Amino acid sequence: LEESRNVQKQMKILQKKQAQVVKEKVHLQSEHSKAILARSKLESLCRELQRHNKTLKEENMQQAREEEERRKEATAHFQITLNEIQAQLEQHGIHNAKLRQENIELGEKLKKLIEQYALREEHIDKVFKHKELQQQLVDAKLQQTTQLIKEAEEKHQREREFLLKEATESRHKCEQMKQQEAQLKQQLSLYMDKFEEFQTTMAKSNELFTTFRQEMEKMTKKIKKLEKETIVWRTKWENNNKALLQMAEEKTVRDKEYKGFQIKLERLEKLCRALQTERNELNEKVEVLKEQVSLREADVDLAVQVLQSCTLNSHEELGTPTDTEPGIQPDAESRAANSSEKTVSTSPVPGTESVD
Q: Is the pTM of this model over 0.85?
A: no
Contact between 162 and 82 (Cβ < 8 Å): no
Tally of CA atoms within 13 A in the half-sphere of 247 that contains its CB: 6
Residue 75 resides in a domain: yes
Q: Write the single-letter amino acid at 70.
A: R
The pLDDT assigned to 131 comes to 63
Cβ count within 10 A of residue 59: 10
Residue 287 resides in a domain: no
Query: What is the domain range of residue 39?
Result: 15-91
- pLDDT less than 50: residues of the chain: 320-356
Helices (H) and strands (E) in the chain, counts: 5, 0
The pLDDT assigned to 114 comes to 78
The pLDDT assigned to 127 comes to 66
Contact between 183 and 232 (Cβ < 8 Å): no
Residue 41 resides in a domain: yes
The pLDDT assigned to 240 comes to 86
Contact between 191 and 148 (Cβ < 8 Å): yes
Residue 248 resides in a domain: no
Count of domains in the chain?
1
CA–CA distance, 203 with 109 (Å, rounded to integer): 13
The pLDDT assigned to 331 comes to 45
Residue 240 resides in a domain: no
The pLDDT assigned to 128 comes to 67
Residue 73 resides in a domain: yes
Residue 237 resides in a domain: no
The pLDDT assigned to 174 comes to 64
Residue 137 resides in a domain: no
